[in-house]
Structure 1
Amino acid sequence: MRVLVIEDNPDIVANMHDFLEPLGYELDAARTGKAGLGFLRDYPYDVIVLDLMLPGMDGLDVCRELRTSLGVRTPLLILTARDTVPDKVAGFEAGADDYLVKPFSLAELDARLKALSRRGPSLTAQTVLRFGELELDPSTHEARRAGQLLRLTPTCYQLLCVLVRAAPQLVTREQLEHEIWRDDRPDSDALRTHIHALRHVLDKPFGTPMLRTIPGVGFRLVASDEA
């Protein structure tokens, strides 16, 4: 079973490796939410173990991001010291499948991981996003315009998801940067570069542009018949 552990405590990660790997598990570990999302964009996993108290992007934000923008349906177990009912409700509402409170038994963790693996992908609905000629399928990470597949980078796909969900309303530069990079924002030219790449794929091959820039404010999508 291949498991992604998103946990910033090296001792907990080491204990998981020592206990689970002899049982046949393959573990990858990420110490930040952003790094964990990077793993999930590139590799398939059977189960995800996610700590809530992460530096920068916290676990609930990671959970929401992977369930919405990335469309990841992999079973997910939240691992945390927070044990109140509201904390657990928040975790499940964000898209978690199970909850294990620290300190925990590694034998119990093993049992829960096996149960989640047998359950298979989360049944959380993966709603296809549509606006005008656009159609985005979070379950496959595919985007199409007028039926034509758009070859998008992961970041451009995320940007388009945010814009489609808001369409036809404006999305500010600050909102886009927060949705893509959270608190770990890159230099000021990064968003402009990705928007340029998105426009090249989304609009250039077609007769009418859908992505509009509102100078000094942000961006919005318009239906093809409004362009």
Structure 2
Amino acid sequence: MLDILLVEDDRDLAATVIEYLELEGFRCDHADNGLTAVKLSQENAYDAMLLDLNLPRLDGLSVCHRLRAEGNDVPILMLTARDQLKDKLEGFQAGTDDFLVKPFELQELVVRLLALTRRRSGQVKVLQCADLRMDLTAHEITRAGATVKVSPIGWKLLETLLRASPSALPRQKLEQAVWGEDVPDSNALKVHMHHLRKALDGGSDQPLLHTVAGYGFVVREPAP
């Protein structure tokens, strides 16, 4: 089941969309303002976001800007009554992935959502957690300003974990991200995570890579 965050202040429209999406097999959370949308996005890992442009407290463009600045790569489908090229260009510059102009057909909404959920957003160029920084353009990892060297598999694991952070990922999802259906052996992930932890946390008294017993792994800021 795919997890969707719907950000829409029109409660009647939101109720209609949620009811239809749930019948189509999606699970929906709802926010009726931009600040709540940011908070929910920080606390949960969504497969996609439906984001209204005109919102109270924080508009849709500002929500996009903030999420992308934080390294959140959730695919965003912006819902708007504006169909001018200028408005769409502003949306893409802010970090949205696609547009759907109101009023729209619910069937088209589902098709657009399914297309978006097959990939993560390409809008994010830097992933961060505390003093750990992963620059996808420069292909460089640093921690507290010092370069961190990892293997190609370590890179893929870290990118996957940072995209999900602060949520934990199950072992199976990490294995699939690296090897697909052809996992070498049962200890492969354990060995690579050991080397990744050593590279990231070996010289720090504040570890960022944690094991979640019986589940998987997470990259998360140290507790205050």
Determine the structure 2 residue equivalent to 1:122.
Answer: 121
One-letter code aligned to 2:99: Y
One-letter code aligned to 2:116: L
Determine the structure 2 residue equivalent to 1:49.
Answer: 50
CA drift at 1:127: 2.6
Residues 141-175 of structure 1, C-alpha deviation per residue, up to 9 Å, x if partnerless? Answer: x994366xxxxxxxxxxxxxxxxxxxxxxxxxxxx
> Are 1:19 and 2:20 an aligned pair?
yes
Residues 188-222 of structure 1, C-alpha deviation per residue, up to 9 Å, x if partnerless? Answer: xxxxxxxxxxxxxxxxx9xxxxxxxxxxxxxxxxx
Determine the structure 1 residue equivalent to 2:111.
Answer: 111
Does the aligned pair in 1 maintain the 2:68–2:124 contact within 8 Å? no
One-letter code aligned to 2:126: T
Give distance in 2, aligned partners of 1:15 and 1:36: 19
Q: Secondary structure at 2:9's aligned position in 1?
A: coil
Determine the structure 1 residue equivalent to 2:40.
Answer: 39
Does the aligned pair in 2 maintain the 1:49–1:78 contact within 8 Å? yes
Does the aligned pair in 1 maintain the 2:71–2:126 contact within 8 Å? no
Give distance in 1, aligned partners of 2:127 and 2:117: 25
Determine the structure 1 residue equivalent to 2:76.
Answer: 76
Determine the structure 2 residue equivalent to 1:6.
Answer: 7
Give distance in 2, aligned partners of 1:104 and 1:138: 37
One-letter code aligned to 2:117: S
Supply the RMSD in Å over aligned alpha carbons: 2.4
Closer/same/farther in 2, CA of residues 144 and 111 from structure 1, 3 Å limit:
same
CA drift at 1:57: 1.0
Give distance in 1, aligned partners of 2:122 and 2:19: 31
Closer/same/farther in 2, CA of residues 45 and 143 from structure 1, 3 Å limit:
farther
Determine the structure 2 residue equivalent to 1:93.
Answer: 93
One-letter code aligned to 2:144: R
Paired positions, count: 141
Determine the structure 1 residue equivalent to 2:144.
Answer: 145
Residues 103-153 of structure 1, C-alpha deviation per residue, up to 9 Å, x if partnerless? Answer: 1100100110001111x1111242368xxxx554589xx994366xxxxxx
Structure 2 spans left out of the alignment, 5+ residues:
147-204, 206-224
Give distance in 2, aligned partners of 1:101 and 1:143: 41
Determine the structure 2 residue equivalent to 1:63.
Answer: 64
Identity of aligned residues (%): 40
TM-score, length-normalised on structure 1? 0.57
TM-score, length-normalised on structure 2? 0.58
Structure 1 spans left out of the alignment, 5+ residues:
148-204, 206-227
Does the aligned pair in 2 maintain the 1:71–1:138 contact within 8 Å? no
Q: Secondary structure at 1:2's aligned position in 2?
A: strand
Does the aligned pair in 1 maintain the 2:71–2:124 contact within 8 Å? no
